[in-house]
Amino acid sequence: MRKTRVTLSAAAFAAATLTLGLAGCSTDTGPSPSGSGAGAVELTMSGWAGDESMAAIIAGFEAANPGVTIKHIGLPWPNILTQINTELVSNTASDIVVVFPGNGNPITAQTLAKGSFLEDLTSQSWTSNFNAANQAVMGADGKVLMGANNFTIIPAIYNTQALEALGKTAPTTFSDVLGLCKAAKADGKVAYAMAGLAGGNLSHYIYALTATLVYGPNPDFAAQQTTGDATFSDSEWTTSLDKFLQMSDAGCFTTDPLGTAIEVAQGHVAKGDAVAIVTVSNQIGDIETMAPEGTTFQTAPLPATDNPDETILPVGLGAGYGVNASSEHMDLANKFMEYYLSTEGVQVALDAGSLIPSVPVDGYEPTATLSGVYPLTQGDKTVSFPDQSWPNSALGQIYNDEMQKVLGGQTSPADALAVMDAAFNG
């Protein structure tokens, strides 16, 4: 999960621990300055490396504000988590920074609220476009501290040509999923690309399964955990991990998934070596860029039962931006946030890449790739990502660590869930 072309991203897809050591960070700069010389003002932004949508938004903002330059510092996943957190703590952060909703990693709105690192954006005009449930994960104590122009979903993304070569259609039941895995394996391919290294998509498979098995049937599950009336261990999380391991045992996943990076997994599905990948929707653009000319993709929810009517799609407010409370250009940074989440700013982002907008846009039509799941986002067959309601950022890292161990056979699902229960209550 590296860019905000579409979302996601969601808060804790591969949450990192709070460390000062950083590695592999890259820097890129947005469009060249629209103004220079006396009176010019430079805003700094810590964003996603290679984010074409943000480059277009920056260009639009600079054009509307002569003399203003935004220096875009592009950071890769997952280093972006620790770098922005460390810079906020040390008072060296950019004026505008990436922020995730909810909890679950070091740069979520609710984590950063504890240190008062973000400016209160509650009075900005765009906040009224978000319902109470979204606003609740966009800040803390009644304050809105970040905004995102996108929703992220976790679909299965299928290489249409690879799927058709097997004589298959997108699975609508869990038995179909296992059947696809068998057919792909017989053809020398894998059905579902898997990246188990930090920042990969391992956890997305489990989020997709728990949407149908846990949070769809029981929307109050997270609240019940908080009151002590539910636990990971004594819930359908156990069934979800059993289904996940069934997929692994059936040869559904990439060989050596724990040694595979997300870019490699994306390349597998882009080239048809893997039929599909389950991951956050903001990665669709990356996959399409890697694919040979003429390759097309389609999306569908990943089923977890043999009743298609039970399938639920994970949908969450995506990663967005907030304003550094110590910014020396507060008025201008706030003005940027107004533009970023204005109808004009969101339309600029839509024109630059695949995006499910989080604010109303007249005439919006999803891309062809997203058309398979977009109708679900408009109905009641969705649930939020689990991590957006988790009580602390440590749980996100523990979740990822434990799921790697489960996949690698180093721990049992029961033991992993017990560790997660302890972290939830810790």
pLDDT at 241 exceeding the cut of 80:
yes
C-alpha distance from residue 192 to each of 210, 225, 408 (Å): 18, 32, 17
Q: Cα separation of 250 and 245, whole Å?
A: 8
Question: What are residue 160's phi and psi, to 5 degrees?
Answer: -60, -40
pLDDT at 28 exceeding the cut of 80:
no
Record the pTM. 0.79
> What is the pLDDT, as a whole number, of residue 354?
67
- Other residues' Cβ atoms within 10 Å of the Cβ of residue 231: 17
pLDDT at 23 exceeding the cut of 50:
no
Banded pLDDT at 170 (limits 50, 70, 90): very high
- 139-156 pLDDT, tens digit per residue, is 999 999 999 999 899 999
Average pLDDT, the chain: 89
Q: Cα separation of 101 and 96, whole Å?
A: 15
Strands 151-153 and 156-159: unpaired
> What is the pLDDT, as a whole number, of residue 169?
98
Contact 334, 119 (CB under 8 A): yes
- 342-356 pLDDT, tens digit per residue, is 999 999 998 887 678
Banded pLDDT at 426 (limits 50, 70, 90): confident
In the chain, what are the helix, strand and coil shares in percent, each to the nearest 5? Answer: 40, 15, 45
Q: Is the dihedral of CA 297, 303, 304, 310 positive or negative?
A: positive
pLDDT at 36 exceeding the cut of 70:
no
Rg (CA), the chain: 21
pLDDT at 195 exceeding the cut of 70:
yes
Mean pLDDT of 106-119: 95
- 354-411 pLDDT, tens digit per residue, is 678 988 788 888 889 999 998 888 788 999 899 888 888 789 889 999 999 999 999 9
Q: What is the crossing angle of helices 237-249 and 174-186, to 10°?
A: 20
Q: Cα separation of 248 and 77, whole Å?
A: 25
> What is the pLDDT, as a whole number, of residue 134?
85
Strands (E), 95-186: 96-99, 139-140, 143-144, 151-153, 156-159
Mean pLDDT of 43-57: 93
pLDDT at 4 exceeding the cut of 80:
no
> What is the pLDDT, as a whole number, of residue 398?
94
Q: Which residue has the higher pLDDT, 10 or 401?
A: 401
> What is the pLDDT, as a whole number, of residue 39?
61
Q: Which residue has the higher pLDDT, 379 or 220?
A: 220
Say which DSSP state 32 is in: P
pLDDT at 1 exceeding the cut of 70:
no
Q: Cα separation of 298 and 296, whole Å?
A: 7
Banded pLDDT at 310 (limits 50, 70, 90): very high
Mean pLDDT of 43-53: 92
Residues 6+ apart with CB under 8 A from 120: 139, 143, 144, 145
> What is the pLDDT, as a whole number, of residue 275?
98
Banded pLDDT at 2 (limits 50, 70, 90): very low
> What is the pLDDT, as a whole number, of residue 77?
81
> What is the pLDDT, as a whole number, of residue 364?
87
Ordered by where they begin, the domains of the chain are 41-150+318-359 (3.40.190.10), 154-315+385-424 (3.40.190.10)
Look at residues 200, 149, 261 and name the one whose alpha carbon lies nearest to residue 13: 200
pLDDT at 8 exceeding the cut of 50:
no
Q: Which residue has the higher pLDDT, 117 or 375?
A: 117
> What is the pLDDT, as a whole number, of residue 419?
98
> What is the pLDDT, as a whole number, of residue 326?
97
Structure tokens at 290: 């890697």
Provide DSSP, 255-308.
SSGGG--HHHHHHHHHHTSEEEEE--GGGHHHHHHHSPTT--EEEEPPP-SS-G
> What is the pLDDT, as a whole number, of residue 5?
34
- Other residues' Cβ atoms within 10 Å of the Cβ of residue 87: 18
